[in-house]
Structure 1
């Protein structure tokens, strides 16, 4: 997969939002809110309309909040320190969700608070949105972690389930690392040095300032000038810079001249 922050964020948003566990959690949250009927909901709406209302609110606000969260992370991860980045994400997500709920309530219930009432209302929405988002995210992450197959190094935990094959190689593209496995490729927003640390259980070598390979994936090695070229099991060819030639010799990947 290739593309900038927008394309990468869009794919991650789609995968997470459409995940069965997420949909189940959203449905469960909607049912719970329809039953407890906060904000005098029982007096305003009958049971079925109330369920439809909360399903709409929970689904749209979670989708919007998730999108703002993911896009902001992809757009600013390399520009802001972690604490400032989290503050930006929190503020952007809370603002988006609060405005969206205000509009939905106005359109659905004809409720358009203003002045002090609006400030109190938005504060309440912010707190509820924050609690719901944390609960849903905690449940989703716990269930997805429990159901994810335990295969290979921890770097694979960052990949979609359908891409978690045997680790073959990693390469740098802009601020992203392209992770290649026997089941495909995926771009991850991180540094190569951090990605390499997460391959601890897979023997491998850095062979270029922007390339890492799993030694078991190498099926051929040939010299090329002062460097070399490694051929992987999937046919991919990886360049080896002169600086790393001694390392691949020591690993027995490059035959002596």
Structure 2
């Protein structure tokens, strides 16, 4: 489970730091602050030194804020809140390390001593500016509306990828062999796009298993089921969906019906689905 959240955090950090709009926003803010010269920097520093100061400061502040915001998105993304409030919470928490960093940088550029009173003042200023810059970053990097979290939140993993409507890579083997691939395959890495075999619930994620590998997608299971067409398949349990071609045979153990896949996996069949599964796979009944 930890590895899943770590992957989500790393993907979201990559989305932030790999975005040209993110860095463009930081540079524009730095230039504005350089020209305006707030907090006495206009009078205490020449232009080029002031530009270097604000670039260095904004890069540090944006990086710290982004890291804390991504942690907030990863931890609180399951609470049902909208993305912007979660980012604001992260920005407010980030004000503390940002204020400390600003105090250290200002001391290095101006030579003034670091004091508790001055540090507290910098933190207060960060508490005001950090949410404002967070809102600006959100507006410049607002994600496509089509990308959803399992509980109508933001899908962190999907955000780090192109929208689901993007075309698979021309070189993809699955595209050549299966021109009518299910939509869910477009959410996977190109190397994992093969014949859709099964889906499984993994906490708030859906595990997608294909003939070329498996991958976790932060997507509500019911939404994942809607993206399996035109593959013929069956939901055998509230946590499992199986492609018909991947069913090897049925098995009964401890009074429960199981579906055995062609890979040798044994998956449970919920009691309400037993009659339908036995009828559908009557030629593969347990002995």
The aligned counterpart of 2:193 is none
**Structure 1 residue runs without a partner (length 5+):** 189-193
Task: Describe how 1:156-195 pairs up with structure 2 within 5 A.
Answer: 158-159=157-158, 160-161=160-161, 164=164, 166-167=183-184, 168=196, 170-173=199-202, 175-180=203-208, 185-186=215-216, 188=218, 195=220
Secondary structure at 1:171's aligned position in 2? strand
Secondary structure at 1:227's aligned position in 2? strand
Secondary structure at 1:129's aligned position in 2? helix
Q: Please tell me whether the aligned partners of residues 172 and 210 of structure 1 are also in contact (alpha carbons under 8 angstroms).
A: yes
Aligned-pair CA distance for 1:126: 1.8
The aligned counterpart of 1:136 is 137
| TM-score when normalising by structure 1 | 0.67
Assess, with a 3 A threshold, how the Cα gap between structure 1 residues 186 and 100 changes in structure 2: closer, same or farther: farther
The aligned counterpart of 2:110 is 109
Aligned-pair CA distance for 1:13: 1.3
| TM-score when normalising by structure 2 | 0.62
Assess, with a 3 A threshold, how the Cα gap between structure 1 residues 137 and 248 changes in structure 2: closer, same or farther: farther
Q: Please tell me whether the aligned partners of residues 205 and 212 of structure 1 are also in contact (alpha carbons under 8 angstroms).
A: yes
Task: Describe how 1:72-111 pairs up with structure 2 within 5 A.
Answer: 72-75=72-75, 86=86, 89=90, 91-111=92-112
Deviations 1:182-219 (A, max 9, x none): 7973453xxxxx71244474257643454346x6xx53
Aligned-pair CA distance for 1:25: 2.2
Aligned-pair CA distance for 1:64: 1.3
Aligned-pair CA distance for 1:56: 1.5
Deviations 1:115-144 (A, max 9, x none): 554433321222112211221122111xx4
Assess, with a 3 A threshold, how the Cα gap between structure 1 residues 96 and 7 changes in structure 2: closer, same or farther: farther
C-alpha distance in structure 2 between counterparts of 1:206 and 1:94, whole Å: 48
Secondary structure at 1:223's aligned position in 2? strand
The aligned counterpart of 1:68 is 68
C-alpha distance in structure 2 between counterparts of 1:101 and 1:53, whole Å: 10
Secondary structure at 1:180's aligned position in 2? strand
Q: Does 1:224 align with 2:255?
A: no
Q: Please tell me whether the aligned partners of residues 12 and 156 of structure 2 are also in contact (alpha carbons under 8 angstroms).
A: no
The aligned counterpart of 2:120 is 119
C-alpha distance in structure 2 between counterparts of 1:176 and 1:52, whole Å: 44
C-alpha distance in structure 2 between counterparts of 1:239 and 1:89, whole Å: 43
Q: Please tell me whether the aligned partners of residues 200 and 207 of structure 2 are also in contact (alpha carbons under 8 angstroms).
A: yes
**Structure 2 residue runs without a partner (length 5+):** 169-182, 185-195, 252-256
CA RMSD of aligned residues (A): 4.1
Aligned counterpart in structure 2 of residue 196 of structure 1, from 213, 221, 231: 221
Matched length: 233
Aligned-pair CA distance for 1:67: 1.2
Secondary structure at 2:3's aligned position in 1? coil
Aligned-pair CA distance for 1:256: 4.5
Assess, with a 3 A threshold, how the Cα gap between structure 1 residues 39 and 6 changes in structure 2: closer, same or farther: same
